[in-house]
Structure 1
Amino acid sequence: MKQFDIRIALLLLATLSAGGFIYPKYASTAAYSQLSQESDEAFEQLQTARNLSDAFKHVAKALRPSVVSISTESKPQNVSVRGFKVPAIPFGISPFFGDDIFRDFQSFEIPRTIPGKQGLGSGIIVESSGHILTNHHVIKGAEKISVTLSDDRSYDAKVIGSDPETDLAVLKIDASGLQAVKWADSDAAEVGEWVVAVGSPFGLNQTVTSGIISALGRDDMGITNYENFIQTDAAINPGNSGGPLVNLKGELLGINTAIASRNGAFNGIGFAIPSSMANQVMTSIMDSGKVSRGYLGVMIQDLNDDLAASFNFEGDGVLIGDVAPDGPADKGGLLAGDIVTRLNGEPAMNSNGLRNRVASIDPESTVDLEIVRNGKVLNLQVQLGVRDQAQLASWQSSGADSGSKVGLSVEVPTPELRDRLDITVSGGVVVTRVDSDSMSARAGIQQGDLILSINGNAIESMSDFSTAINESDVSEGIRLRIHRNGATQFVFMKSS
């Protein structure tokens, strides 16, 4: 029996020993089979990536005939520099011995020609008859505008109309049978959606880049007066301005307009005017050569928690800070301190959104406003007027002006304020607020600074300030002369 047990033990030992050598072989084979199966599944999944790649290729081909390159030339400027012819001074006599020696100075003009500027941009064909949509800043000040199609045909273009307040312009070339872009509904766009930008960065025509929608509804950027930008990480560089931002259906979602950058190059943040705004502006320009906007006649501001609590108000709304005398709001019964909660049934979430929506409504239209006054909900009907910049500046001259375009607010300093700030120079408007991360803040503008001039134009009133800011092109930059701490200096600020 004992011998039998020994035989059983030896048999088990032999089996285990054999298994020790055989098991790894079978294990390796099983693992390889698993890897092979995963590889086959991965190749099947790669079809999804190939489909996405094909979508980008199809978009590029579909957009190619509709995207144009725009080059501009501005007119050379003839200027004169004043010079002086100095009279002969006897040897050994210094002019410092008397000012009368300068009586014989003869002034003369030195003619000088400043060469015209050349610019590059992009555009998108919106009608087969030759209408093209681009940025206002692309063609601003141009004496000659040339449009080059994807097949290298070149045409002279004329400006049908432009709108600096949204930075859009419509051009026309003498051509027909062109491929017009298809429009997307930018209001239905979503963050994370794939997008494609096409244009001529640095003069490189038909450059295609891709990315996603990073954010929607970007405002208070200090780029234009009316802002509702689509933010994207698709590469946008100088020369892309005016070109299209499209979805993977090849439909126009926006017009590429600006980038946020510390060095002028692309840093992953670009902005496009949404197609809903662009289409409305374009249609108005093509119909009448200009853009007419609805005008409510109120100064509005956002509500913070403390301000809302002071009105015993909870929820979303926009506060009316002032009402223009005899304006549409005044005639419709609105008062300073009213809180607008709805416009035509849609919530009023913030001042910029409300302002854009009012401007998008045809003048003379009647709008329904839901407001909260002293804790009570009221419904009013107001007939909009036509937004007139001169009239608006005239009204604003009596109170604080919000330079939302550049991110600051100003007012005419009272004698008491001049004393408190130790302002010894005359004229100017004093900065009462600077928005954080605005172009004004980046340029170093501070609360209490006295703005004496803008781009060489003296600022004596609120009207002067409003006019100068509205006529300025933030993409080219604004030069301010300011007074601070008893000293006067220049500051230059420019949108990123």
Structure 2
Amino acid sequence: MKRNPVAWAALVVSTAALVSSSGALRRMPAAPNVPAEGQKTAQALSQAFEAVADFVRPSVVQVTVTKKAARVPNLRNFPFPGPNGRPNPNAPNNPKDLEELLKRFFGPDGMVEPQQFGRQSHGTGSGFVYDNRGHILTNNHVVEGAEKITVTFHDGIEAAATVVGTDSKSDVAVIKVDVTNYPALPRGDSSKLKVGDLVMAVGSPFELSQSVTTGIISATERNDVQINEFESFIQTDASINPGNSGGPLVNMNGEVIGVNSAIVTGGRGNDGIGFAIPIDMASGVADQLVKDGKVRRARIGVQMAPLTPVLARQLGLDPTTKGILVSEVKEGSPADKAGLKQGDVIVGFAGDKITSMPSFRLKVATSPLGKGYEIEYFRDGKRQTATITPAPYEDVVFDMEKQRGSKDGGESQDGQPKSTAIGEFGLEVQPLTADLAKSLGLPAGATGLLVSEVKDNSPAEAEGIKEGDLITKVVKDRKIQPLKTVKEFQDLASKSNELSFYVQTGKDPGRFVTLAKAKK
């Protein structure tokens, strides 16, 4: 009888499997043995996390807030106008009618959210016991606009809280309860944090109270995230989600080293990038809020610009020099009294190196008032020092800032000066007349050249120069000098392949840009 080779192959495989299952073949271990030393290390780390969590949780609270949302809009006027823009008599005039209308167009899920129509809305954040007097530290955005605040401790005890003080510029807030028998978290030193340090975040993500996540310090001094006006965030990959805001980020000693504040995410959840306010910064704000109910910051009276390698070279410095460029000094300010001038390059303050505008601004702002500090800077290529005493922030205001809230003037006038092309840099300029300055809402006496046209695909367009921008200063002969005439600008452009100048858009603070001639 002829045998099917496929059938014989199947029989062989089946037999082998049977023999293997009966133990005739050598067994492979289910998993390699974990070395004893490795198990010991893992257990020690696990026990350390357990100990920190047990120590921290009694000091961490859930913060529940109730807010009053906006009242129902006048639905007879908007967004359902009648013919010729007149009110529509058939427009819905209450949430229920609008809900029915939305269902007709968008199906059963076209629902109206209650908070859209003046009902109370609720939110949840976190916080932690700050001292033995009932103060709780949290984020400003957690309690901002709250009508009612309830704090829930780890054992379920609830207490009503009142706001002691808030600071939106740093996103720090202090609230207070009458309960004082819960331990305050000890504070660590956030200035000593190192990338790679183990940390733990505790809070109430998605209202899940007393949740603990772990991770490491991913970065420090993140001061260009542009979340808060004053920021120098700790970045961590410890999972931080909505509801964690205001909760502590702690080290492996159980010391709070940051206040969890924000996340970077493509949705609502965590993508491994969380930010915490350093405790050194947060406690400095909190202590002022507890003492005075407000925060006082300092200022020295300089407008700043980033120092690029090109600008450094044009000012006679090593292109690798790190610092910030002084673009303007307010008359009578602490900087003016200390002898600082436009064009100086600040490289040190109070013994610390200055490498960026945000770090310098934060360093000055948080300096105690009434005290002198050494400031280090370059002028004409030479390193110099001076003593400067910062003034209260509100006492040092630039004219441009005073103008910011005013309305623009009337329409621009006919018969404006002729525009002039500036070499191969891709822009045209014209003198700034009094009428033009008024129409743009610029301060009386403003001088400079107005950008009247920007060529497509030009160096000027690439650097974000726009029509209506005002050029007020240029870098010339290793100094920053005021720009007064078109001819002066033309001459400078014709003699150089790079052109550095200070440009302003409307009432906003300006910036230095460097244009390079287009390659032919």
Q: Report the TM-score when normalising by structure 1.
A: 0.68
1:383: which partner in 2? Answer: 389
Contact 1:364/1:386, CA 8 A, preserved across alignment: no
Q: Partners of 1:218 and 1:150 in 2: how far apart? A: 32
Shift of 1:318: 1.6
Shift of 1:69: 0.2
Does 2:54 match 1:61?
A: yes
2:311: which partner in 1? Answer: 307
Structure 1 residues 363-378: aligned runs within 5 Å = 363-378=369-384
Shift of 1:428: 8.9
Contact 1:81/1:109, CA 8 A, preserved across alignment: no
Amino acid at match of 1:355: R
1:257: which partner in 2? Answer: 261
- Of 294, 297, 301, the residue aligned with 2:298 is 294
Shift of 1:304: 1.3
Deviation per CA, 1:316-345: give whole Å up to 9, x if none: 222111112222212221111111111122
2:485: which partner in 1? Answer: none
1:385 to 1:59, Cα distance in 2 relative to 1, 3 A: same
Shift of 1:412: 11
1:76 to 1:318, Cα distance in 2 relative to 1, 3 A: closer
Contact 2:58/2:183, CA 8 A, preserved across alignment: yes
Secondary structure, in 3 states, of the residue corresponding to 2:342?
coil
Q: Partners of 1:224 and 1:68 in 2: how far apart? A: 24
Contact 1:295/1:363, CA 8 A, preserved across alignment: no
Q: Partners of 2:409 and 2:39 in 1: how far apart? A: 65
- Of 335, 342, 359, the residue aligned with 2:341 is 335
Q: Partners of 1:208 and 1:447 in 2: how far apart? A: 48
Shift of 1:106: 9.9
Amino acid at match of 2:171: D
1:107 to 1:394, Cα distance in 2 relative to 1, 3 A: farther
1:187: which partner in 2? Answer: 191
Amino acid at match of 1:181: L
Q: Partners of 1:388 and 1:187 in 2: how far apart? A: 28
Contact 2:138/2:173, CA 8 A, preserved across alignment: yes
1:396: which partner in 2? Answer: 401
Secondary structure, in 3 states, of the residue corresponding to 1:138?
helix
- Of 346, 354, 368, the residue aligned with 1:362 is 368
1:74: which partner in 2? Answer: 67
Deviation per CA, 1:131-160: give whole Å up to 9, x if none: 010000001111111111111111111111
Q: Whose strand proportion is higher, 1 or 2?
A: 1
Contact 1:78/1:111, CA 8 A, preserved across alignment: no
Q: Partners of 1:184 and 1:368 in 2: how far apart? A: 28
Amino acid at match of 1:234: A
- Of 154, 158, 165, the residue aligned with 2:162 is 158
> Which runs of 5 or more residues in structure 2 are unaligned?
1-28, 78-82, 96-116, 420-427, 430-438, 443-450, 452-463, 469-504, 510-520
Deviation per CA, 1:379-411: give whole Å up to 9, x if none: 11122111129x636443579xxxxxxxxxxx9
Aligned length, in residue pairs: 373
Contact 2:76/2:88, CA 8 A, preserved across alignment: no
1:322 to 1:70, Cα distance in 2 relative to 1, 3 A: same
Shift of 1:202: 0.3
1:206 to 1:222, Cα distance in 2 relative to 1, 3 A: same
Amino acid at match of 1:369: I
Secondary structure, in 3 states, of the residue corresponding to 2:51?
helix
Structure 1 residues 122-161: aligned runs within 5 Å = 122-161=126-165
Does 2:72 match 1:83?
A: no
Q: Partners of 1:380 and 1:289 in 2: how far apart? A: 34
- Of 337, 350, 354, the residue aligned with 1:344 is 350
Shift of 1:357: 0.7
1:370 to 1:177, Cα distance in 2 relative to 1, 3 A: same
1:427 to 1:307, Cα distance in 2 relative to 1, 3 A: closer
Deviation per CA, 1:452-492: give whole Å up to 9, x if none: xxxxxxxx973xx79xxxxxxxxxxxxxxxxxxxxxxxxxx
1:428 to 1:266, Cα distance in 2 relative to 1, 3 A: farther
Q: Partners of 2:355 and 2:157 in 1: how far apart? A: 47
Does 2:205 match 1:198?
A: no
1:413 to 1:64, Cα distance in 2 relative to 1, 3 A: farther
> Which runs of 5 or more residues in structure 1 are unaligned?
1-34, 85-94, 400-410, 433-445, 451-459, 467-496
Instruction: State the percentage of identical aligned residues.
Output: 36
Q: Whose helix proportion is higher, 1 or 2?
A: 1
Contact 2:138/2:246, CA 8 A, preserved across alignment: yes
2:236: which partner in 1? Answer: 232
Backbone CA RMSD of aligned residues: 3.7
Q: Partners of 1:249 and 1:155 in 2: how far apart? A: 28
Does 2:277 match 1:273?
A: yes
Secondary structure, in 3 states, of the residue corresponding to 2:174?
strand
1:105 to 1:195, Cα distance in 2 relative to 1, 3 A: closer
Shift of 1:73: 0.8
Shift of 1:80: 5.2
Q: Partners of 1:105 and 1:154 in 2: how far apart? A: 49
